Structure 1
Amino acid sequence: MGAHAGPSRRGRSPWLRALVLVAIVLVCGWLASTFLGSIDWASVGAAIGRLTVWQGLVLLAVLLVRQTLNAFPLALFIDGLGAARALLNDLVASLMAVVAPPPGDIVVRVAMFRAWGIEPSRGLAGATMNMVAFYVNRFAAPLIGLPVLLVLGAGTPPVTGALVSVAVAVVMTVLVSLAVRRGEFAARLGLVSANIVRRVRPSVDPEAWVRSATGFQEHVGAGYRRAFPRSLLALSAMVLADACILLLAIRFVGVPADQVPAYEVIGIFFLAYPLTLPPMMGLGIYDVVLLGACMEIGGDVLEPQLVAALTVWRAVTILGPVVLGGVVALVWRRRLVDAGADAS
């Protein structure tokens, strides 16, 4: 029986991933057909057409701030990297995550770390902490949105869901802190995680995960107490910059502040931010929630403008980093070619 368990699991793994993707597509399609079916797309196009060149430049400037804050934890967790190199590394890794199969983003990160004289294991430990901090911040975001809406908002926000999300962030923080500060706990956590993942991906090596977990603890343990809180502050500011892109897009397409106030947009954005967990930052699900909440405030008459604003926001925040990452990758490749020519 044991001899046949591995192949059957291997056969189920691709099917499981495919079923998950199909389920996500079906849910997004159902949401779109239910909530977006009667949209006047001609009016949406007209609203997007209101955008001017200088407004596009403003959105691009805020996007650069957003991406810099998003990458800043890398600089905090990897000594000697710096904010500028962290941004370049994060942009290229984001591009590779979209255009190349995994682990393409990890490979390009390691290549850049080596070129900058950073030991790959130390760089990957910092990249892992960057990802962990992002997930903690994602679930902790309602901690900011909830009080904003309770104090300033017109309606009653979902308190229970927000508290559950914050509780998840607290549990994650406790587990990470124990793993960073105690080597035995890190090894145990790596082993348990590997055994869980192994049920879906039989090729996982538990011993390798234990070695990675203990190595991770050695690399980030010293500066964790200083870096982790600062990384959460930077990522909270990143979410605020993300919300500001949406807010600017709402204003640029013609929705005034008296119809959809800024504090409502920012509060809703933070409160619903855990919904960015699905692929493409919750594309479809998160958008429908933001749209419904803003329409409840400003009325159904604003639907075309709000859809236009969400479209602009998605274009800027999803396509923008890919384009910037492509530019950085081309420049990086050019420098490598020039360095190779000089060496020869």
Structure 2
Amino acid sequence: MPDADADQRTRPVWIRPVLVIVVVAVCGWLASTFLGAIDWASVGKALSRLTAWQMLVLVAVLLVRQTLNALPLALFIEGLGAARALLNDLVASLMAVVAPPPGDIVVRVAMFRTWGIDASRGLAGATMNMVAFYVNRFAAPVVGLVVLAALGSGTQRVAAAIASGVVALVMAVVISLMVRRERFAARLARASGNVARRVRSSVDPEAWVGAATGFQEHVSAGYRRAFPRSLLALTAMVLSDACILLLALRFVGVSAPQVPAYEVVGIFFLAYPLTLPPMMGLGIYDVVLLGAFMELGGAALEPELVAAITVWRAVTLLGPVLIGGIVTLVWRSRPRGSPGAVS
């Protein structure tokens, strides 16, 4: 809502980078404390095994990942298309890193307008894209549980996976009711607004009701087709993300007998809710993956595992930002008023 956006704009720009550095430092300390001191010389040796063609393969899979990540935008916004959705998502990824909130939303809306897409319709689609991502994030452990139970060594985290799946189910049911039933959307928005007004007196619950019903009007038409397809696309996106990590493991010298592919995929999905913190759980998720893989392959593999996770993070975090930067430069170099130019 607008009040939340105003709050975010008043926060200093430096808070997020500092928070990320603190989180990474704490997780690094935890890793060195509980997993042992890391042999960085051996990590560097493992990284030196990467070749140019292997990096190109990783970038190619990254492009597949980013296309799948942006696909829900195309599904929820009629007339956008997969190519424009990818461009919009890449530029928004860059803005989310270099500009304070809501810089990514502003650039999304600017791009939508140049394509003749109404701002409110574009925002509704972007909101559904975010909702689908969160539902998929909490549903992912169920996929991991099935993979590990069917192909892997099993898992002791059954309760956590099921609980996460329940959260995803509740979110999906609530958003479905909001989209399909205008009265439910209005009641939920009014109740949320009343709760928010207790914390911030300037909140207008009726404005929240208007925003919720407007959102419902924009996404209700194609929801039954778009929502399940978006979840399928995002599940494939997580799988492609896991494949980048799997390829990185193989490229630095971790063999299939040491850490099997199905274990990598299963563990990746099982722990995926840990990507909720900033920068996709940078530090936290990494430590959990490292610990799980060391249980499988042994402590002797630690340098190669650290190297592979480092490569995966570099590709999946820096890759979209760099590509988004290139797209932004090309975009802004186009004459104003030409098709696709951002104003």
Q: TM-score, normalised by structure 1?
A: 0.89
Q: Which residue of 2 aligns with 1:117?
A: 116
Paired position in structure 1 for 2:140: 141
> Aligned partners of 1:28, 1:192: CA distance in 2, in Å?
38
Residue of structure 1 in register with 2:190 after alignment: 191
Q: Does 1:154 align with 2:168?
A: no
The 5 A counterparts of 1:219-230 are 219-230=218-229
| Partner of residue 90, structure 2 | 91
Once residues 76 and 113 of structure 1 are traced to their aligned partners in structure 2, the CA distance between those partners, rounded to angstroms, is: 14
Q: Do the aligned partners of 1:93 and 1:109 also contact (CA within 8 Å) in 2? A: yes
Find out whether 1:331 has 2:330 as its counterpart. Answer: yes
Cα pair distance change 1:203/1:330, threshold 3 Å: farther
Q: How many residues align?
A: 329
2:248 counterpart of 1:243:
no
Between 1:153-162 and 1:221-230, the stretch displaced more is 153-162
1:162-181 pair list within 5 angstroms = 162-181=161-180
CA distance in structure 2 between the partners assigned to 1:215 and 1:201 by the alignment:
23
Residues 146-200 of structure 1 deviation map (CA, whole Å, 9 limit, x = unaligned): 0111122224331000000000000000100000011111122223334445566
> CA shift at 1:25, angstroms?
5.9
Partner AA of 2:301 in structure 1: L
Q: SS of the counterpart of 1:141?
A: helix
Q: Name the SS for the 2:146 alignment partner.
A: helix
SS of 2:334's partner is: helix
Segment of structure 1 superposing worse, 139-148 or 238-247: 139-148
Does 2:107 correspond to 1:108? Answer: yes
**Equivalence for 2:57:** 58
Aligned twin of 2:209: 210
Which has the larger displacement, 276-285 or 203-212? 203-212
| One-letter amino acid of the counterpart of residue 66, structure 1 | R
Give the letter for the 1:74 counterpart. Answer: L
Q: Please report how far the alpha carbon of residue 291 of structure 1 lies from its aligned counterpart in structure 2 after TM superposition.
A: 0.6
2:153 is aligned with what amino acid?
A
Q: Go from structure 1 to structure 2 and tell me whether the alpha carbon gap of 1:198 and 1:56 turns closer, same or farther (over 3 Å shift).
A: farther
Task: Tell me by how many angstroms 1:49 deviates.
Answer: 1.0
Change (3 A) 1:310 1:196: farther
- Partner amino acid for 1:276? T
Shift in alpha-carbon separation, 1:161–1:87, aligned structure 2, 3 A: same
Q: Percent identity?
A: 77
Tell me how far apart the structure 1 counterparts of residues 336 and 240 of structure 2 sit (CA, whole Å): 36
Compared with structure 1, are the counterparts of its residues 18 and 62 closer, same or farther at alpha carbon in structure 2 (3 Å cutoff)?
closer
* 1:82 positional shift: 0.2
Deviates more, 1:330-339 or 1:121-130: 330-339
Secondary structure at the counterpart of residue 137 of structure 1: helix
- 1:337 Cα deviation after fit: 4.3
Distance 1:201 1:121 in 2: 25
Q: 1:334 to 1:203 in 2, by over 3 A?
A: farther
Q: Look up the SS of the partner of 1:326 in the other structure.
A: helix
Residue 87 (structure 2) pairs with residue 75 (structure 1) = no
2:263 maps to what in 1?
264
Question: Which residue of structure 2 lines up, in the alignment, with residue 322 of structure 1?
Answer: 321
Partner Cα distance (1:274, 1:220) in 2: 26
CA contact (8 A) 1:150 1:157 kept: no
| 1:6 alignment counterpart | none
Q: Which residue of 2 aligns with 1:4?
A: none
Q: Deviations over 1:260-284 (max 9, x none)?
A: 0000000000111011111111111
Pair 295,33 (structure 1): closer, same or farther in 2 beyond 3 Å:
closer
> Matched residues in 1 for 2:179 and 2:84: separation?
25
TM-score (norm 2): 0.90
Q: Secondary structure at the match of 2:50?
A: coil
Does structure 1 conserve the Cα–Cα contact (< 8 Å) formed by 2:259 and 2:296? yes
Question: Are the equivalent residues in 2 in contact too, given 1:31–1:285 (CA < 8 A)?
Answer: no
CA shift digits 1:45-88 (9 cap, x unpaired) = 11111100000000000000000000000000000000000000
Distance (Å, rounded) in 1 between the aligned partners of 2:197 and 2:24: 26
Alignment partners' CA distance in 2, 1:52 and 1:26: 29
1:26 Cα deviation from its structure 2 partner:
7.0
What is residue 3 of structure 2 aligned with on the other side?
Answer: none
Residue number in structure 2 paired with 1:5:
none
2:264 and 2:195 map into 1 onto residues whose CA distance is: 38
Deviates more, 1:168-177 or 1:153-162: 153-162
Alpha-carbon shift at residue 37 of structure 1 (Å): 4.9
How far has the Cα of 1:18 moved from its partner?
Answer: 6.8
Deviates more, 1:188-197 or 1:43-52: 188-197
